[in-house]
Structure 1
Amino acid sequence: MQNPVLVAGGVLSAAASLLHLAVIAGGPSWYRFFGAGEGMARMAERGAVTPTLITMGIAAVVAIWAAYAFSGAGLIPRLPLMRTALVLISAVYLLRGLLLIPAFLFNPGAVTPFVLWSSLIVLVYGVCYAAGTSIAWPALSAR
């Protein structure tokens, strides 16, 4: 395995994608448990399609991000715009995780256990992508 850190990021993203699909199957109580908010849970209870579409969209994006990690690690064929995509994915995960800092500084009451844990988890994802991308950088040049 050429880049176990990027593979780890891909596995984490793939797991997140599958978890989002499980939330759809789990229904309103799963939307609540995983922090989607009461509004999403209530829409799911009413049978609205919106929570399903949003959650499927997130699952699809995160699955694509997993594919980029696996591609960057050399496990699957090269995907388009490899360097750009991995840098942007790293940035999104890192920024989402680091939003915890201003939340603590400016609105500590808004830092719920879900916000805390999801931010820390996503920060780990971002570190895996950033470190893995850095390791793979020379091999990611245009071929």
Structure 2
Amino acid sequence: MKVKWSFILASILTSAGAILHIAIIIGGPDWYRASGAGNELAQMAESGSVYPAFLGSVLVLIFFGWAIYALSGAGIIMRLPLLKTGLVLIAFLCTVRGLYGFFVPVLIKTEYVVGLGIEFWVFSSLVWLAIGLSYLHGLRTNWSYIAGKEQ
């Protein structure tokens, strides 16, 4: 099986997201605000609550898990259980987040959404869309391996 670069790119981008979330946890309240996590989480972090760090850690684990699935889909590491289901779900979630983010500031006018600014929504949506499209392209070009028809 030929290595699929789209899955490698997806793994790199997803890992970068995990590393960014680690930096946000370490960076503290100002980083929570700058990342779009919101003032509420930043205030919790300022008051010493472990909840923002816990939530960020959960996201870190999810994103690194997704990156590992991308490497499995690329054929770089062993074939993981539920590979097809996992990669289809990851591709769907990333792509949907990438697409809906373009409409959020137009459709939802809450203080939180407006406060982040259109630049945040466009940039973050482009990043999520790039990740989702990388997973989708990997699925399309490597489907026989993903579906278990090729070893």
Q: TM-score, normalised by structure 1?
A: 0.92
State the Cα deviation string for residues 87-128 of structure 1 (Å, max 9, x = none). 000000000111034335534784622222111110110000
- 1:1-80 paired onto structure 2 within 5 Å: 2-80=3-81
- Unmatched 5+ stretches in structure 1: none
- Unmatched 5+ stretches in structure 2: none
- Which residue identity lines up with residue 54 of structure 1 in the other structure? L
SS of equivalent residue, structure 2 residue 142: helix
- Which residue identity lines up with residue 62 of structure 1 in the other structure? F
| Alignment of 1:132 onto 2:138 | yes
Structure 2 equivalent of residue 118 of structure 1: 124
Aligned mates of 1:58, 1:136 — CA distance in 2? 27
- 1:74-89 paired onto structure 2 within 5 Å: 74-89=75-90
Cα RMSD over matched residues?
Answer: 1.7
State the Cα deviation string for residues 19-43 of structure 1 (Å, max 9, x = none). 1011111111111111110001110
Aligned mates of 1:4, 1:138 — CA distance in 2? 16
- Which residue identity lines up with residue 75 of structure 2 in the other structure? G
Task: Please say if residues 105 and 121 of structure 2, whose CA atoms lie closer than 8 Å, have aligned partners that are also in contact.
Answer: no
Going from structure 1 to structure 2, the CA distance change for 1:105 and 1:131 (only over 3 Å counts) comes to: same
SS of equivalent residue, structure 2 residue 103: helix
Q: Would you identify which runs of 4 or more consecutive aligned residues in structure 1 move more than 6 Å?
A: none
Sequence identity of aligned pairs in percent?
37
Aligned mates of 1:16, 1:31 — CA distance in 2? 14
